[in-house]
Amino acid sequence: MTAAFDAVIEIPKGSRNKYEIDHETGRVYLDRVLFTGFVYPADYGFFEETLGEDGDPLDVLVLLDYPVYPGVGIKVRPVGVLRMSDEAGGDDKVVAVQVKDPRWSHIQDVEDIPEYTRKEIEHFFERYKDLEPGKWVKVDAWGNAADAERLIVEAQERLASQS
């Protein structure tokens, strides 16, 4: 079983609003409303105490039955990673489940995520920037739970090396 990590939700599942948390003030800001009619397929946020290759905290999608509010912290277990890039470079998305939710305890690795759920996530990220001028996304492949955990640890180490 993989380790547990702290994630903070910025955007609840089902939202078209792209919220971002100001890491200095802790305030949640509306960054923009998605230009397309798409809604986020899962709760979306970041791992605390990490630095992704894009200069922001490492992104995470948390599979939950019910969306949570922006700013809520959740103890999660990574189960996979969607390898992707956008106009700014690498932009991988870790997929995780809540540690204490028995409805998701059977999801241990990426192949345990229902195929349709994986397809929804891929489709969202392939298309959600389509109507934004100068923006694009390329989805590469899925990685497993070990790949996701390694990505988180690397992002923690990247942040620590800059302190």
Domain boundaries, the chain: 5-161
pLDDT tens digits along 10-69: 999 999 999 999 989 999 999 999 999 999 999 999 999 999 988 899 999 999 999 999
Question: Mean pLDDT over residues 117-146, rounded?
Answer: 95
Q: Quick check: is 91 catalytic?
A: yes
CA distance linking residue 148 with residue 59, whole number of Å: 11
Tokens of 154: 């690397």
Residue 128 assigned ligand-binding role: yes
Residue 66 assigned ligand-binding role: no
Q: Tell me which architecture the domain covering 5-161 has in CATH.
A: Alpha-Beta Complex (3.90)
Q: Which of 22, 56, 91, 147 is catalytic?
A: 91
> pLDDT averaged over the chain?
95
CA distance linking residue 79 with residue 146, whole number of Å: 8
Residue 76 bridge partners (DSSP): 5, 98
**45-70 as b/e: b if 16+ CB within 10 A:** bbbeebbbbeeebbbbbbbbeebbeb
Residue 10 assigned ligand-binding role: yes
pLDDT of residue 88: 85
CA triple 69-102-64, angle to 5 deg: 30
pLDDT of residue 89: 85
Instruction: Indicate whether 1 pLDDT > 60.
Output: no
